[in-house]
Amino acid sequence: MIKDWLKKDKDVSIKGKVVSDMISHVTNDLLIGRKIKSGELRKRLVEPNWIVPGCFILQDIDMGKFKIKYLMSKEKPSKKGVILQLHGGGYMGAIRNAYYVFAGLYNEVSKGYSVATPDYRVAPENPFPAALEDAVATYMWLVEKKGFKENEIVIVGDSAGGGLAMALAMYIRDNNLPRPKGIVAMSPWTDLTASGESYTTNFHNDVLFGNTKESLIYENYYAKDEEKTNPYVSPLFGSFKDFPPMLIQAGSNEMLLSDSIEVAKKAKNEKVKVRLSIYEGMFHVFQMGYLNFPESKAAWKEVRAFFRILDKNKKFFE
């Protein structure tokens, strides 16, 4: 049961509650909310070019069918590894500038890892397996062009990107490619059938996708003609045998909570090192708050610790 996994040691911070209430107001009380839940706003969103902070170098890599942004520290980039970041958006929204901020944070908490962020192809124009193909191509670009070896690539992602990170790890294992170093998954979408307990129990609690069946959770075109139980679409239905260590974070109020809980259970049963952290009162991908409220700040602190563990092989997992 979900309640058995929830952390009871902390109350929701005042700032965290305010942010959650603000999101709920926008998504449930305003007309723009429906466009947010359906993904329509994200697909139409036009942003200015991201302004690269002076401490970074940002390279644009043209992969033909998609592009990669490769963020590096100007001074002393780490040689211990590299990060492949897979963005969220329900497989239907292209990348946003927020993910380049994420890349900067990942660079900081990893103490200098470079970050490759592909703007992978999305549905409905490019359904499965386009996103997975682009993720694989990015991974192999890091191996073949950048020279990273076995246990030197950390795959990270949020929401759909978190599920895609696990699907990529399955593909890597199934095809005997160089093993990744670890996985960080924030509110991963691992079950596109939406069959988990929390899709019901958190239906009225989820400030982003709750109170409607017209969100991109239910009206999604990624799988198209493919069975949604295909593990490369919904990793929950696959095997996690021989996976690298995983850090999975989720909010207790999100509809996708079961996706994290069930993956963690399954992976642990298959002897994978997994740490599942559920943040009380938090919403889907609350880490987008960066360092601006306690829960998000704590989540990023935990990610920092995860990288220290990967680098030093110390105990961190349950």
CATH code of the domain covering residue 232:
3.40.50.1820
> 264: closest CA among 254, 277, 251, 252?
277
Q: Is 13 a catalytic residue?
A: no
42-51, 110-119, 162-171, 272-281: least confident range:
42-51
Residue 60 pLDDT: 97
Answer whether residue 72 shows pLDDT above 80: yes
Give me the pLDDT at residue 185, please: 98
Residue 237: which of 283, 280, 189, 197 has the closest Cα?
189
Whether 266 shows a pLDDT value over 90: the answer reads yes
The model's pLDDT over 291-316, given as tens digits with 9 standing for 90+, comes to: 888 899 999 999 999 999 998 865 66
Q: Give the dihedral sign, CA 256/257/262/268.
A: positive
**Mean pLDDT over residues 69-98, rounded?**
94
Strand segments, DSSP code E, in the chain are 56-62, 67-73, 82-86, 114-118, 153-158, 182-186, 246-251, 274-279
What is the rounded (10 degree) CA torsion for 144, 146, 149, 153? -110
Query: Total domain count for the chain?
Result: 1
Asked, for residue 247, whether it belongs to a domain, the answer is yes
Evaluate whether residue 83 is within a structural domain. Answer: yes
Name which residue leads in pLDDT, 9 or 53.
Answer: 53
Q: Is residue 89 part of a domain?
A: yes
Q: Is residue 23 part of a domain?
A: yes
* 317 domain residue, yes or no: no
Residue 29 is predicted with a pLDDT of: 59
Q: pLDDT tens across 166-204, in order? A: 999 999 999 999 999 999 999 999 999 999 999 999 999
pLDDT at 76: 85
Residue 318 annotated to the active site: no
Cα 308 from chain centroid? 20
In this structure, what is the dihedral angle of CA atoms 112, 134, 123, 185, given to the nearest 10 degrees?
-40
Task: Give the model confidence (pLDDT) of 110-134 as tens digits.
Answer: 999 999 999 999 999 999 999 999 9
Q: State how beta strands 274-279 and 114-118 pair.
A: unpaired
Say what the pLDDT of residue 16 is: 75
Give the structural domain span for 143: 2-311
Q: Establish whether 254 is a catalytic residue.
A: yes
Mean pLDDT value across residues 84-90: 97
DSSP 232: T
Can you tell me which residue has the tokens 């699907």? 167
pLDDT at 27 over 90: no
pLDDT of residue 6 exceeding 50, the answer is: no
Is 316 within a domain?
A: no
What is the pTM (predicted TM-score) of this model?
0.92
**8 pLDDT above the threshold of 50:** no
Residue 40: pLDDT above 60? yes
pLDDT at residue 263 tops 90? yes
User: Over pLDDT 70: what percentage of the chain?
Assistant: 87
Of 284, 295, 296, 302, which is the active-site residue? 284
Of 76-80, 87-91, 115-119, 198-202, the one with minimum mean pLDDT is 76-80
pLDDT of residue 11: 74
Which of 87, 187, 254, 296 is the catalytic position? 254
Of 159, 234, 252, 296, which is the active-site residue?
A: 159
pLDDT in tens, 231-243: 999 999 999 999 9
In a domain? residue 94: yes
Segment 269-285 shows an average pLDDT of 96
Q: What is the pLDDT of residue 313?
A: 66
